[in-house]
Amino acid sequence: MADSGAAAPKPSSSVKLVLLGEAAVGKSSLVMRFVNNDFQENKEPTIGAAFLTQKCNLPTRTIKFEIWDTAGQERFASLAPMYYRNAQAALVVYDITKPSSLTKAQHWVAELHRQASPGIVIALVGNKADLAAEAAAGDELGDDATEDTDAAPGAEGEEDADADNADQRRVATKTAKAYAEEEGLLFFETSAKTGKNVAEVFTAIANAIPEASLKGPRGAAGGQSSLGRQEDARVNLGSVRPEGAKEGCAC
């Protein structure tokens, strides 16, 4: 969960975040873990989109995430621009047991680069890490802080876990990470089921949002009057990606 730091008045700002990805990769489960610290097995598919909010306390400021959790089914794809249009951050999720979902994620990343706000912070997230046999922890994780949660029992030399027959991983960490670096994305492997890395993803995104784009709280009246409000994501393109890459990927 988001760290509940000092309650002292800190500058607070809203960040609009959208989750994209193939159906059944666990987008809603990630959000539910982040917002409610809860997990449901066999969750029913999202219909349309769900809107949730959650605060994330950083040392210097509070970020209020306004999260659009979209449905992954193809028939909803045409609605996606409505949700990512003014988003400052996007979580593009794939399922580490399903290679086709990474391909789909790559399509989403390309679409975001093409059509979303230029400064959007994108995190590539491989979910369902609990289904992979534990591999060398430090190697797999995007964030040092989570090494302890991942006390790997049988950390064999196998770096690419998909070589291991016992586990269900079909997308190598290396592959996805390399792609993320290439595209300048934050990268994490998470498990909504165990909670692994979930808070970290959101914290890293919060950190990666440039200060410049956070002027004033956007949470209240004005900014939310319409889904369709345009061009209010004031983002400095140049600073985002290098910073994001540095913080997100412990490479």
Partner 1 sequence: MSREGTPPPLPPRPKNIALLDPRPPSSHGVTPTRPQLVSKPTTQLSFADSQTHSNDSKYESSSSSASRPHGLFGWNKPKASSDADAPSVRSVIPAAEGSVETESILGDVLGDHGHSLFQSLGNRFQNQESESLFLPDPDLEHAFEQEFNEIEDIDETGSNEETVLIKWRAKLKHFLILSSAGKPIYSRHGNDELITNYVGVIQTIISFYQSTEDSLKSFTAGDVRFVVMTKGPLNLVAISRLRESDSQLRAQLDALYMQILSTLTLPSLERLFAARANYDLRRPLQGTEVLLSALSDGFTRGSPSTMLGSLECLRLRKAHRHAIDNALLKTRSENLLYGLIVASGKLVSVVRPKKHSLHPGDLHLIFNMLFEAGSVKAGGGENWIPLCLPGFNNTGYLYMYVSFLNLDHPAEQIQERPRSSEGIGDEVAVVLISANKEGFFELRGMRDDLINQLQKNGSINHIRQAVKGGRFTCTDIVPGSPLRHFLYKSRGNVQFTMPSWDPYFNTLFDRRRLTCLYATLHAQVHAKPAALKIIHETTTTNISLGWSTPLFELYCVAPSTTSRAALSQAANKIVQWVRREEERLFIIGGAVF
Residues binding partner 1 (CB under 8 A): 23, 28, 32, 35-36, 38, 40, 43-53, 67, 69, 71-76, 79, 82, 224-228
Q: How far is the CB of 26 from partner 1 (least distance, A)?
A: 13
Q: For residue 45, what are the contacts with CB-CB under 8 A and spacing of at least 6? A: 23, 24, 71, 72, 73
Give 71 or 240: the residue with its C-beta nearer to partner 1: 71
Give 23 or 152: the residue with its C-beta nearer to partner 1: 23
Give 60 or 224: the residue with its C-beta nearer to partner 1: 224
Give 53 or 60: the residue with its C-beta nearer to partner 1: 53
Q: How far is the CB of 53 from partner 1 (least distance, A)?
A: 5
Q: How far is the CB of 155 from partner 1 (least distance, A)?
A: 32
The amino acid present at 204, given as its one-letter code, is A
Exposure of 6 in the CB half-sphere (CA atoms within 13 A)? 7
* Nearest one of 66, 113, 121, 105 to 189, comparing CA atoms: 105
Instruction: Let me know: does 140 contact 173? Beta carbons within 8 Å.
Output: yes
Angle at the Cα of 128 (from 200 to 135), degrees rounded to 5? 85
CA distances from 217 to 16, 130, 203 (A): 12, 37, 18
Give 79 or 251: the residue with its C-beta nearer to partner 1: 79
Q: For residue 47, what are the contacts with CB-CB under 8 A and spacing of at least 6? A: 71
Q: How far is the CB of 65 from partner 1 (least distance, A)?
A: 11
Q: How far is the CB of 16 from partner 1 (least distance, A)?
A: 11
